[in-house]
A and B are shown apart, each in its own frame.
Chain A
Amino acid sequence: GAVVSQHPSWVICKSGTSVKIECRSLDFQATTMFWYRQFPKQSLMLMATSNEGSKATYEQGVEKDKFLINHASLTLSTLTVTSAHPEDSSFYICSASRSGRSYEQYFGPGTRLTVT
């Protein structure tokens, strides 16, 4: 149990376009989901915290108008990278916590975004 999926697993897009990444909790309800970014040979950096039915909370330095987060249901959160540029190329990872078991955190497999 406690599986988190991401779609797509990888995506290539042209500079200036937008791309949406989905994060789903497959067998549990996740009141909170988190989005991380990881550049090559670097550690994970938390971008934002997403709560179902409310606005996301962004970490300092993360542009909320560029990285749109929607947490429409207890099993789905989406991250949209708007007007993507090559410097947005990265590995995007989501994680989710189960309702009532906030100490557990389950990570998705990640989405590799390449902006050309």
Chain B
Amino acid sequence: DAKTTQPPSMDCAEGRAANLPCNHSTISGNEYVYWYRQIHSQGPQYIIHGLKNNETNEMASLIITEDRKSSTLILPHATLRDTAVYYCIVRVTHNAGKSTFGDGTTLTVKP
């Protein structure tokens, strides 16, 4: 699976959009981009995934660049409960579970 690079930490004001970047310059054509988050002392939670088109669900939006070498997770209206470590992972879909977690980005939402 391709390696990802994320900033170690970010702050965001409550109610504002949180934009979390991820670099995956070695991604291959059959690899998807997945985002998970982990709130302190809990198991990771699936957020969203995509291949090359932008995706949106009730939690977030995923913007993938045309060359697929980077992506951005957008939380449109961050709340204090969104404070967590966010992990960007790239993997082939049929290898679900065999995920390589990097260090992630610690997002702190401040009042």
Contacts and interface: CB of A to CB of B under 8 A. Distances in A.
B87 A103 contact: no
Contacts of A103: 32, 49, 93-94, 96
Contacts of B44: 44, 93, 95, 107
Interface stretch (B22-30, B59-67, B97-105): B97-105
A105 B87 contact: no
Contacts of B96: 32, 97, 102-105
Contact of B101 (A45, A97, A102): A45
Interface string B36-54: 1010011111100100000
B20 to A, nearest CB: 16
Best-buried of A43, A46, A104, A112 by chain B (most CB within 10 Å): A43
- Mostly helix, strand, loop or mixed at chain B's interface? loop
A102 B91 CA distance: 12
A28 interface: no
Given A91-B41, A104-B46, A109-B43, 20 more contacts: A34-B98, A43-B87, A43-B102, A43-B104, A44-B99, A44-B101, A45-B101, A46-B98, A46-B99, A46-B100, A49-B98, A95-B44, A97-B97, A102-B95, A105-B46, A105-B96, A105-B97, A107-B44, A107-B46, A110-B43
